Amino acid sequence: MIHAYVFPGQGSQYPGMGKPHYDNNAFSKRIFEQANDILGFKISDVMFHGSEVDLRQTNVTQPAIFLHSVIAYKSIENPTPHMVAGHSLGEFTALVISNTLSFEDALRLVSIRAAAMQKACLSVPSTMAAVLGLDDLKVEEVCQSLREETGEVVVPANYNCPGQLVISGSIKGIEMACERMKAAGAKRAQVLPVGGAFHSPLMEPAREELAAAIEHTAFRRGVCPVYQNVVARGVTDPDQIRQNLINQLTGPVRWTQTIEAMITDGAERFTEVGPRKVLQGLIAKIRKGTNTDGVE
């Protein structure tokens, strides 16, 4: 059986995440302590005892989810990854599991990415919105026409599953887009409680900062293909992986297309590894009847 492992991104965090691993496994405890040293603050304390508000800060959220996901994967007995993928931030976990990146290097990059994204969010007021019940092509058309008419930044950001697409851009552009999406027949078009336009051109300063760090990081040819967000296909070449990872900050997360590609390439079972069960739900909507499970 061809077994695919998938890893969640920002939004899957919750108070107390990872504590059972820390309490019950000496190996997991060592990884948490190592992460505290690399990051320069006790992320374990924030994960175990912090509030939802504490965990919502991008510079905490991203390393916390990455750390939880890696540790959860290490708890699996004799895992057999034939292919891997991660949703946005989760792609870094996928790169560690495929042995393309070391844990230490990936955590440093996640920390740099989170700080750079938070800085970009503060410099330009921007946001995101979820559009439900509208065909992807129609969402793309509305975004394009609005950009051409107004000059505002509005782009598709997360192709989560059929009928669920998140758009990203300037506050004014997103507000206008929500009205147009509803007029076009969307069941809902709602601004999300996020502080920035992730996966849009407004993340360009963060992309440049991350690119500089990635260029000085060692990438290896992994043990299995990594299905990357921006190209929605399996990649093994380290240079291509590096470039796709850089482009991901300003490009869309093509999750629907990624899962379809993995199934086309033979994936028979998907295991989501990390906090919560968001990706299992999306996969079930992308392809009904798909064999999914989870490890938290």
**In angstroms, what CA-CA distances link 100 with 26, 188, 194, 217, 224?**
25, 39, 30, 11, 9
Instruction: Provide long-range contacts, Cβ within 8 A and 24+ apart, for 32-37.
Output: 32/67, 32/71, 34/104, 35/63, 35/67, 35/107
- For residue 157, give the 3-state DSSP assignment: strand
Overall average pLDDT of the 252-273 stretch = 98
* Residue 21: active-site member: no
**Each residue of 196-248: pLDDT tens digit?**
999 999 999 999 999 999 999 999 999 999 999 999 999 999 999 999 999 99
pTM of the shown model? 0.97
Domains defined for the chain, CATH in brackets: 3-122+201-295 (3.40.366.10), 125-191 (3.30.70.250)
Name residue 294's beta-bridge partners: 272
Among residues 49, 41, 48, 39, the alpha carbon closest in space to that of 20 is found at 48
Between β-strands 291-295 and 226-228, what pairing exists: parallel, antiparallel or unpaired?
unpaired
**Each residue of 138-149: pLDDT tens digit?**
999 999 999 999
Among residues 148, 151, 155, the alpha carbon closest in space to that of 174 is found at 155
* Residue 199: active-site member: yes
**Each residue of 120-176: pLDDT tens digit?**
999 989 999 999 999 999 999 999 999 999 999 999 999 999 999 999 999 999 999
Count Cα atoms within 13 angstroms, Cβ side, for 57. Answer: 12
Name residue 293's beta-bridge partners: 271
Residue in 12, 88, 98, 126 annotated catalytic:
88
